[in-house]
Amino acid sequence: MTEQHIPGMVAAIIAAHASTFAPEGNRLPAQPTPVATSQDPVYLAALQACSALGFIAIDAQCLAQAWQNQSQRTGLFDAAHWPDAPQDFGLAGADPQLAFPQCPRALGLYGVLPSAEWVGRMARAGVPTVQLRFKSDDQNAIRNEVAAAVQAVQGTKALLFINDHWQAAIDAGAYGIHVGQEDLDALQGAQLNAIHASGLRLGVSTHGYAEMVRAHAVQPSYIALGAVFPTTLKKMETAPQGVARLQAYVRLMQQYPLVAIGGIAAEQFPAILATGVGSVAVVRALVNAPEPEAAAHHLLACMR
């Protein structure tokens, strides 16, 4: 492949994947082609094509590198084969010594909840995985709420993750911690080591290819993928990813337990579960339901 083949390769990738990633009527806007970090013709073609298909700069760069690696590994350029091999994304070779402790591969219905009271309610309703997402800057209130959430799941089978407040989670003996990309940015190496040494599980939020690669660098216990659909619960920096991208992420990230999150209600469960993701996280589908326990039972039935 040489430079003169690039326009044809761009067109071939778009033709093969537009119906999946940029279908008529449900298309993310085309993105400007970002700076190239390789002059390989496959890389350059994939960078243009993935940008045209609506992938943001860091994800288009990540995909282009993977497409270049795939072509070099297989010895051919196949426009129809969307990259999905972990080694082409630099995702192979997890180190069991450095990895965070394992959690179940299928975390099932995952309730992300605003208070210890909600955590207890949903744990008692049979939700297998719960998270305390308590937003506060008051350290005393945080410590009390985290300790109360740990108490609230006693006697149930629920696994309790604490969002953001990792030190309080360690001190209270929660099952695990959930952090986002900004939380990871703020964590110093020694703090990440402290979480690792505590033996708690670690879940990490991701919103696309580049963030999945970044999350892999810390080898968390699970990876969350979202927002799949629009959500009013949280201001997202990235567009809703949609089910087609979720499917591609699940194919690539099979080595991790995966959680889908964002804008998911009962009607979306069949499409989400068909991707092979082992867990579906919801906030409003539980918290805003007129009868939250009944909603939990219905969503648990949807999981089956």
Ligand X SMILES: Cc1ncsc1CCOP(=O)(O)O
Ligand Y SMILES: Cc1ncc(COP(=O)(O)OP(=O)(O)O)c(N)n1
Q: How far is the CB of 90 from ligand X (least distance, A)?
A: 25
**Judged by CB under 6 A, does residue 112 bind ligand Y?**
yes
Given 259, 287, 296, 302, the residue binding ligand Y (CB under 6 A): 259
Nearest to 208 by CA among 236, 235, 184: 236
In sequence order, the 6+-apart residues with CB closer than 8 A to the CB of 290 are: none
Q: 167-171: which pairs have CB atoms within 8 A and are 24 or more residues apart? A: 167/194, 168/142, 168/143, 169/200, 170/194, 170/195, 170/198, 170/200, 171/143, 171/146
Given 1, 57, 192, 233, the residue binding ligand X (CB under 6 A): 233
User: Is the CB of 180 or the CB of 208 nearer to Mg ion?
Assistant: 180
- Binding partner of 272, given Mg ion, ligand X, ligand Y, none, CB within 5-8 angstroms per partner class: none
Is 139 strand, coil or helix? helix
Please report how the helices 116-124 and 292-303 are oriented relative to each other, as an axis angle in degrees rounded to 10: 60
**Judged by CB under 6 A, does residue 234 bind ligand Y?**
yes
Site string for ligand Y, 186-225 (x = CB under 6 A): -----------------x-x------------------x-
- Binding partner of 295, given ligand X, Mg ion, ligand Y, none, CB within 5-8 angstroms per partner class: none
User: Is the CB of 107 or the CB of 285 nearer to ligand X?
Assistant: 285
DSSP state of 78: -
In sequence order, the 6+-apart residues with CB closer than 8 A to the CB of 80 are: 16
Q: How far is the CB of 39 from ligand Y (least distance, A)?
A: 35
Is 290 strand, coil or helix? coil
Q: What dihedral do alpha carbons 266, 267, 273, 275 form, nearest 10°? A: -140
**Judged by CB under 6 A, does residue 111 bind ligand X?**
no
Question: How many helices (H) does the chain have, and how many strands (E)?
Answer: 13, 8
Given 10, 123, 253, 283, the residue binding ligand X (CB under 6 A): 283
Tokens representing 282? 């919801």
User: Is the CB of 198 or the CB of 231 nearer to ligand X?
Assistant: 231
**Judged by CB under 6 A, does residue 261 bind ligand X?**
yes
**Per CB under 6 A, which of residues 122..181 are in contact with ligand Y?**
131, 133, 163-164, 178-180
Of 103-111, 154-162, 166-174, 256-264, the segment contacting ligand X by CB under 6 A is: 256-264
Pair 261, 225: CB distance under 8 Å? yes
Distances (CA, A) of 291 to 112, 114, 266, 285: 16, 17, 14, 10
Q: How far is the CB of 276 from ligand Y (least distance, A)?
A: 17
Given 282, 295, 296, 302, the residue binding ligand X (CB under 6 A): 282
- Binding partner of 131, given Mg ion, ligand X, ligand Y, none, CB within 5-8 angstroms per partner class: ligand Y
Q: How far is the CB of 59 from ligand Y (least distance, A)?
A: 17
Per CB under 6 A, residues contacting ligand Y are: 110, 112, 131, 133, 163-164, 178-180, 183, 203, 205, 224, 226, 234, 259, 261, 281
